[in-house]
Amino acid sequence: MEVLTSRDIERVAGLLRCGEVVALPTETVYGLAADAFNALAVGKIFEIKGRPAHNPLIVHVGCIRVAEACAFLNPLAEKLIEAFWPGPITLVLPKTRRIPSLVSAGLDTVGLRMPRHELALAVLDALGGPLAAPSANPSNYLSPTEAGHVIQGLSGRLSYVLDGGRCHAGVESTIVDVSVPGRFHLLRPGPLQAEELEAVAGMKLSFGRHSENGEAVVSSPGQLKVHYSPRTPLFLVASPERDSGRVARVYFGAGANGHPDSVEADGYYLSRRHDLREVEGNLYALLQELDQRGYDAIEVVALPQGHQWAAVRDRLSRAAAAFERHA
């Protein structure tokens, strides 16, 4: 795999224009990007990742003009765009005919966002069009937050990665469905908090799969229970449980909330201060590292319960779901 740098922006744009796939950094995770208007190029993304065709891709844009070529905006979307773009929020909107149905997995909507990352924005600007880009990992494995993770996961299947160092947000974007007037539905928790979105929208977000009166509401295709897992069995525990084999223990802070002051051998902190941003920023990198170290199991100790931790809980519960024992 060829590693490109910030000096290669024009070259990356040229490759994308020719229908190549290039991994590039965003503020959330590394994306596996292709020209979103080019169905052949987009098809390569599904092939490289081994991603099922029913799982739609998020489309990344560098300006509003390109957003409008991809989707029909509405007043609520415009408010959210004004407040949060560029940033880690994906808006699901009715798609235009220029977006191939492969991108949207046959849906008549498309997820759009503008990444808050200098290199991603430079590539989008040089290209002058939209990029379909899911996370640059094999389907179902942990998302990559460093170029090295992309190389580790996709070498032999992918030719180019643009190296932008560590992604600072570290978990995938918050996804909100605003495709129908009156709908403001959280499809995936992420770095942007529900309260921040509600404050700007001036309305409450709906969550989950059922509304108050029990009606089924939109769900997000591809948000499967099992997702984002390491290869090493991972368990969520209230306090350390396993005493046989080599077990890595992952903590969210030191000293408080029942966490040890100084961690034992094979103990790791996502943050020493129980800091949400730091935990999100370190989450995938630490799990990738533990996966390389050959542990028999990973115990994630005392997963925080506050609502602001929704994205971290969501990703870790999905990781653990792969290893749940069925009675």
Residues at the interface with ligand AMP (CB under 6 A): 55-58, 92, 104, 107, 109-111, 134-135, 172, 175, 187, 220-223
Rounded to whole angstroms, how far apart are CA atoms 88 and 192? Answer: 7
Q: How far is the CB of 92 from ligand AMP (least distance, A)?
A: 4
Pairing of strands 2-4, 31-35: unpaired
Q: How far is the CB of 190 from ligand AMP (least distance, A)?
A: 9
Q: Does 145 bind Mg ion (CB under 5 A)?
A: no
104 binds, among ligand AMP, Mg ion, none (CB under 5 to 8 A by kind): ligand AMP
Q: How far is the CB of 173 from ligand AMP (least distance, A)?
A: 7
**Minimum CB–partner distance for residue 270 and ligand AMP (Å):** 21
Q: Are 29 and 171 in contact (CB under 8 A)?
A: yes
The span of 128-136, 194-202, 211-219, 251-259 binding Mg ion (CB under 5 A) equals 128-136
Comparison of 134 and 281: residue with beta carbon closer to Mg ion: 134
In the bound state with ligand AMP, the residue whose beta carbon lies nearer, of 117 and 274, is 117
CB of 55 to Mg ion, least distance (A): 8
Q: What's 301's DSSP letter?
A: E
- What string of H, E and C letters represents the secondary structure of 112-167? EECCCCHHHHHHHHHHCCCEECCECCCCCECCCCCHHHHHHHHECCECEEECCCCC
Q: Tokens in use for 169? A: 């947000």
Contact of residue 23 among Mg ion, ligand AMP, none (CB under 5-8 Å per partner type): none
Nearest in space to 178 (alpha carbons), one of 200, 160, 154, 205: 205
Q: Give the separation between CA 66 and CA 74, rounded to whole angstroms.
A: 15
- Please report whether residue 135 would count as binding Mg ion according to CB under 5 A: yes
Task: Determine the residue type at 183.
Answer: R
Closer residue to ligand AMP in complex, CB, 210/246: 210
Task: Report the interface residues with Mg ion, using CB under 5 A.
Answer: 134-135
